[in-house]
Structure 1
Amino acid sequence: MKIEARAKINLTLNVTGRRDNGYHDLELIFQPVSLCDTLYIEKKPDQSLAFSCSVKLFENEDNLVCKTYRAMAQRYPQIGGLSVFLKKRIPSGAGMAGGSTDAAAMIRALDQMYGLHMTWEQKKEIAVSLGADVAACLLTQASIGRGIGEELTKIDTDFTYSILVLKPKVSFSTAQMYRAIDESGQITQRYLSQEAAAGLETKDLDRICASLYNVFEEAIPEKAVIRELKQALTRSGAIGSLMTGSGSCVYGIYRNRRMRDRAYRMLKKHYQAYACEAVNRPQQ
């Protein structure tokens, strides 16, 4: 089996509170994009996992692909041995859910390969045990996430639009970013997820771009780096730009693919750049 694991960007990201257990309450929009990793999976006769990756740094048993296999095999004993190769394209330390989406793709693949007929709740239970973003990565359309990100409401849209993502040389630690939020007491004051969702539903790019918000932009240590990327995207024709997740990637939204492609040709000379489209398809 060959299965794609799509990256995500956030159109909004609000930190609304901190729980006693250290987790944070969030309100955010997950938007799948066409940039993806690919998993190549084959069954093998013995009861073990042979895992390899195009990026050797990630080729270890702590990779979320391996953790997903172990969690699924424990729950479903009919799952047998596999040989899995992960082709990485999504940048790491980027805020694009690269590891989470690989885990979600593995859940979907095992469900199909072994005819498990898992319900959404069964998939979600496994997903949440692996990470807060994994459940959202199971979806093929934008969703609003609440709680720690696992309480999902799908947005009724099939809107496709053009995006350019820039990755700076620096990466930010998610844990460090949350600590910065805690220390600053920076709790979101701008709740724009419903407005952005309405923009997706009505296919109104201006409304979406007017609603872009990420509270972590106020907490990042390298503000000048993010500001530079946002300015570069705006100068190239983007009508809205935002850092995604806890960073460090910044994306721009363009009115059409032609404008995005022109910006990509210009900016790839100076930055690590990824051209992609928003993906919003009814759940299969």
Structure 2
Amino acid sequence: MDKVVIKAKAKVNLSLDVTGIREDGYHEMRMINHSIELEDTLTFENSQEGITLTSNNNLIRLDEKNLVIIALRKLQKRFNKTQGVKIHIDKQIPAQAGLAGGSSDAAATLKGLNILWKLNLTTPELLEIGVTIGADVPYCLIGGTALVEGIGEKITSLPGMKKWHVVVVKPKVDIPTPWAFKKLDQKEIKNHPDITGIIQLLKDENYAKLNAAMGNVFEEVAFEEYPEIRNIKNDLMANGAIAAIMTGSGSTLVGYYREQERAEMAWQVLKQKYKMSFLSQVSEN
């Protein structure tokens, strides 16, 4: 096989909590993730010209700090691979948005090269490599709806939110993850999401109480520094969302809708105000 194409879906946090800091400095997390139908497409081809990385988006880095290259180097080192490969990223997931675009691309790279190079790595082996790249990479290898704990390595699949539609709004603000964690460490968080309660709501398909149980501890620091992010959340709720939340460390907001027509109406309104707005739906995988 000389060419492999892998889809890399965006990740959304239905809720996110930071429960502590380990001795090695990593943060312990407890979050509920799900995928949405907003995705990058990565193409992997054998090459005689070394390693090349290209993209349709000239704003993303294409050097050794790109998580795609980091994932590739992990596999090269583990298997002593020297052959060339050409990788192209058709980028649709916004960067620095809390949608795990980079992590999803890294997961796609592990999957794609596992096939292209015939490495025969199992899912547990891919997860073991993924957690050394970033906290969201293991989840992005699995996808679907899941409880994610620890530093991202503990993943428990959950019942999915079938046929939910989402409006995704990315403001002009970019929030670097290290900044968000630093601010969070300096602040006493009073309101933590009811992760256990949300898991039960998902199992019972009792979505009426979802908005009250949801939460993201990063909202407190993001809203304080960037009030426009809070305004977007309010706009989503004012335009018919059953629930709305900031995903990841920000700055993207996600509104949840049961009916496609209502989601489309909200999107039509919000995209006039916020240029980077997307209409999507919850992915089942």
Q: Do the structures match in fold with TM over 0.5? A: yes
Correspondent of 2:194 among 192, 195, 203? 192
Give distance in 1, aligned partners of 2:220 and 2:260.
Answer: 30
Match of 2:281 in 1: 277
Q: Does structure 1 conserve the Cα–Cα contact (< 8 Å) formed by 2:161 and 2:282? A: no
8 Å Cα contact 2:146-2:158 kept in structure 1: yes
SS of 2:149 mapped into structure 1: strand
Give the Cα–Cα distance (whole angstroms) in 2 for the partners of residues 207 and 109 of structure 1: 40
In structure 2, C-alpha distance between the alignment counterparts of 1:241 and 1:158, rounded to whole Å? 14
Residue 191 of structure 1 deviates from its aligned partner by 4.5
1:171 deviates by 1.5
Per-residue deviation, residues 111-156 of structure 1 (Å, max 9, x unmatched): 2223333222210111011111100101131111111222111114
Q: Distance in 2 between matches of 1:204 and 1:4?
A: 31
Instruction: Decide whether the 8 Å contact of 1:41 with 1:84 is kept in 2.
Output: yes
Mapped to 1, the partners of 2:281 and 2:146 lie a distance apart of 16
CA displacement at 1:179 relative to structure 2: 1.5
Contact 1:159 1:200 in 2 (8 A): no
**Gapped runs of 5+ residues in structure 2?**
none
Tell me, in whole angstroms, the C-alpha distance in 1 between the residues paired with 2:161 and 2:125: 26
- Deviation string, structure 1 residues 44-102 (Cα, Å, up to 9, x no partner): 235x2111112223222321111111111222346732111111111111111010000
- Is the contact made by 2:75 and 2:81 (CA closer than 8 Å) also made in structure 1? no
Identity %: 33
CA RMSD of aligned residues (A): 1.8
Amino acid across the alignment from 1:206: A
The offset of 1:278, in angstroms, is 1.0
Cα distance 1:100–1:191, how it changes in 2: closer, same or farther (>3 A)?
A: same
What is the identity, as a one-letter code, of the residue corresponding to 2:202? L
**Kept in 1: contact 2:40–2:105 (CA 8 A):** yes
Residue of structure 2 in register with 1:120 after alignment:
123
Letter in 1 for 2:188: G
What are the residue-to-residue correspondences of 1:129-278 with 2, within 5 Å? Answer: 129-157=132-160, 159-186=162-189, 189-220=191-222, 221-271=224-274, 272-278=276-282
Give SS of 1:252's match.
Answer: strand
Using the alignment, how far apart are the partners of 2:252 and 2:136 within structure 1? 17
The answer on whether the counterparts of 1:51 and 1:59 sit within 8 Å (CA) in structure 2 is yes
Amino acid at match of 1:198: Q
SS, match of residue 184 in structure 1: coil
1:27 is displaced (CA, Å) by 0.7
What secondary structure is seen at the aligned counterpart in 1 of 2:162? coil
TM (normalized to structure 1)?
0.92
Greater displacement, 153-162 / 251-260: 153-162
- 1:23 deviates by 1.6
| Counterpart amino acid of residue 56 in structure 1 | N
Q: How many residues align?
A: 279
